[in-house]
Amino acid sequence: MKTIKALAIAFVVSSAIVTGTWAQQGPVASACKEDIAKFCADKEHGEGEVRACLEANKDKVASTCNTALETTGGGR
């Protein structure tokens, strides 16, 4: 029983790590890496905070970042 419980915990933890890592490696994260560090360093990844911050600073971010924001995300 302890083995099953340990495996379940390991699965949940690894899923959380993978999800967080994926959120930080998408097209916006890649194209906006410098802009994230400059404008949104205090925002949490994976909850939409970084994207909202980038959208709020859209007039200041690099053109490649702007393109990534315009071509990805909900409904795009």
- 17: pLDDT confidence band, cut at 50, 70 and 90? very low
Alpha carbon of 25 to those of 16, 18, 30, 45: distances in Å?
Answer: 14, 10, 6, 10
pLDDT for 25: 81
Q: Is residue 26 a contact partner of residue 74, using CB atoms and an 8 Å limit?
A: no
Task: Output the six-digit token pair for 62.
Answer: 């690099």
Q: Using CA atoms, how far apart are residues 7 and 2, in angstroms rounded to an integer?
A: 9
pLDDT tens for residues 39-65? 999 999 888 999 999 999 999 999 999
